[in-house]
Amino acid sequence: MSLASLFTTAALADRSADEAVIRKALGKIKPDIVEPAPINGLYEVVVGPHVVYMSADGRYMLQGELIDMVKGVSLTEPRRQAATKALLDTVSEDDMIIFRPKKVKHVVTVFTDIDCGYCRKLHGQMDNYLAEGIEVRYMMFPRAGVGSESYKKAVAVFCADDRNAALTDAKRGKKLDMKTCDNPIDRHMQLVRQLGARGTPFIVMEDGSTQAGYVPPKRLAKLLDQAESR
């Protein structure tokens, strides 16, 4: 075995030992990724969409942005975005309500509350988002919680024969057929809690970056174009 191979094997063994120590220190928390951070002796730990940094001995944890001062960029945000995107990729299209333009240029996921004023404003401009080539994938976030009127409306929408039409009717304040059925609303709420969202609408872009609150169609299209060019 070459000297280089010996060093590589030793480094991998050290990394494996450090990872085991960190996982043990986290107890019941099961990280998705544990790998060396750009700073010696520090590890990047990813749990769902959350990114923290831990010392190799598992004693210290840092929460916040790791900034490359030479390049002037966050090293944390790309990882967070990738983790957010991976989390949303676990959701089937069957568990979303999708408004799709004839020619799709961009895709966003929007967590919405039927009774939220700015959510209704966003939905009222759906034709404008579609005209910008933006596909809108809805998931539900009834902020008042399970069993609330907003929650029941979300269930009714998902149980309707035509979900898109039912959602539009609900956003306009029309009376719904309050059906119940197996539905993904609880799963949506679990996801949005993992993402740390507190309000609606909550928009997740294609790259996993997020926008809290209403964003006008042309502004959203510009943000998506900028993200794509980076």
Active site residues: 113, 116, 119, 143
Q: Which two tokens stand for residue 124?
A: 């009222």
Strand-strand pairing, 106-112 and 134-140: parallel
Which secondary structure element, helix H or strand E, spans residue 23, and what is its range?
A: helix 3-26
Burial (CB count <10 Å: 0-12, 13-18, 19+), residue 180? exposed
Cross-strand bridge partners of residue 112: 140
Closest CA relative to residue 71, chosen from 38, 34, 36? 38
Q: Report residue 229: phi and psi, to 5°.
A: -80, -10
209, 81 Cβ separation under 8 angstroms: yes
Q: How many CB atoms lie within 10 A of CB 117?
A: 10
